[in-house]
């Protein structure tokens, strides 16, 4: 069955590969990017996001089966906060009416292994409050210093994964039968990483912060195929997840910690649920 996809960042890297694979399978893809896609749009501003969503919806004839948000920046600058977080979440929200017209709507965002690297909590909080002015202000301060500028990217990606986890189970997404998930890549061979990968020093740096024991750096196809499955009709129950496709980097960095989180809080949650049952 042919489906209609809207993909941001479709002119390069992961977004471009995803669009190519989907088209080869006979699907319709409406790409959104600064230039070189079906919709020229700037996702760094609210006006740009809404205009791009409107143009993509119009080109799709009002019904969109899946939205995949890939557009992103890794610059240690404030614009990274706007594009990576609000350029995904606000754009997706603006696409919801078109998704609601589909019989099998799906959405997937591109997070990053950086979501488990050090972040700047006040910036993550500003993202999750949907306060773009505050987030940009904090990011501008972080960008003043080379050491702290890198926290903008990791913070934006942790916020994306947390937004997906929080929003996916709500009436607006799961309640509307829209599985919402994220993919978190390790190092991918795209223009975003080419400069770093070009020198031994840069390669050593990324291999230290993104240790990938399986498969090493990956081509964009591995991420694209995961995004395609998450947004296919085959995905009936994967919901709210960030799927790390990173050669094992997340497992190396977090180890057993992922299972030790907040046992008291989950016990409390079950106590509340059982008390609602009157037991």
Instruction: Summarize as ranges the residues that interact with ligand NAD (CB under 6 A).
Output: 9, 11-15, 33-34, 41-44, 70-74, 83, 110, 112, 185, 187-188, 190-193
Q: How far apart are CA 133 and CA 111, in angstroms?
A: 22
Strand order in the sheet with 4-8: 39-40, 28-33, 4-8, 66-69, 106-110, 180-185, 242-245
| Min separation Cβ 165 and ligand NAD, Å | 17
| Min separation Cβ 70 and ligand NAD, Å | 4
Q: Which of 5, 120, 153, 244 is catalytic?
A: 153
| Min separation Cβ 31 and ligand NAD, Å | 9
Phi-psi sector, 61: left (phi>0), alpha (psi -120 to 50), beta: left
User: Which three-class secondary structure state does DSSP give residue 2?
Assistant: coil
- Burial (CB count <10 Å: 0-12, 13-18, 19+), residue 85: buried
CA-based nearest residue to 73, from 52, 31, 43: 43
| Min separation Cβ 193 and ligand NAD, Å | 4
Identify which of residues 42 and 65 has a Cβ nearer to ligand NAD in the complex: 42
Tell how far CA 271 is from the center of its chain. 33
Identify which of residues 12 and 181 has a Cβ nearer to ligand NAD in the complex: 12
Identify which of residues 83 and 108 has a Cβ nearer to ligand NAD in the complex: 83
User: Which three-class secondary structure state does DSSP give residue 94?
Assistant: helix
**Residue entry with tokens 């990053």:** 112
Identify which of residues 104 and 113 has a Cβ nearer to ligand NAD in the complex: 113
Position closest to ligand NAD via CB:
13
Identify which of residues 12 and 232 has a Cβ nearer to ligand NAD in the complex: 12
Q: Is 85 assigned a catalytic role?
A: no
Burial pattern 251-260, b for ≥16 Cβ within 10 A else e, equals eebeeeeeee
| Min separation Cβ 41 and ligand NAD, Å | 6
Please give the positions annotated as active site.
Answer: 153
């Amino acid at each position: 069955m042919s489906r209609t996809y809207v993909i941001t960042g479709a002119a390069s890297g992961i977004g471009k590969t995803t669009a190519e694979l989907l088209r080869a399978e006979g699907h319709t893809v409406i790409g959104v990017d600064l230039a070189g896609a079906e919709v020229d749009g700037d996702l760094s501003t609210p006006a740009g996001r809404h205009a791009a969503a409107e143009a993509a919806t119009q080109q799709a004839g009002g019904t969109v089966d899946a939205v995949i948000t890939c557009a992103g920046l890794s610059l240690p600058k404030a614009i990274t906060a706007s594009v990576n977080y609000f350029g995904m979440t606000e754009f997706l929200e603006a696409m919801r009416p078109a998704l609601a017209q589909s019989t099998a709507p799906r959405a997937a965002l591109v997070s990053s292994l950086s979501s488990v690297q050090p972040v700047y909590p006040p910036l993550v909080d500003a993202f999750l409050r949907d306060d773009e002015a505050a987030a940009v202000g904090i990011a501008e301060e972080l960008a003043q210093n080379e050491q702290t500028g890198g926290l903008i990217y990791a913070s934006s990606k942790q916020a994306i994964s947390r937004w997906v986890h929080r929003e996916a189970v709500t009436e607006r997404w799961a309640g509307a039968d829209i599985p919402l998930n994220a993919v978190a890549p390790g190092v991918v061979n795209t223009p975003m990483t080419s400069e770093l990968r070009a020198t031994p020093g840069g390669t050593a740096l990324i291999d230290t912060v993104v240790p990938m024991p399986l498969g090493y750096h990956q081509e964009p196809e591995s991420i694209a195929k995961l995004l395609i499955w998450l947004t296919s009709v085959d995905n009936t129950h994967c919901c709210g997840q960030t799927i790390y496709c990173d050669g094992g980097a997340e497992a190396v960095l977090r180890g057993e910690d992922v299972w030790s989180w907040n046992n008291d809080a989950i016990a409390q949650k079950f106590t509340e649920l059982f008390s609602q049952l009157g037991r």
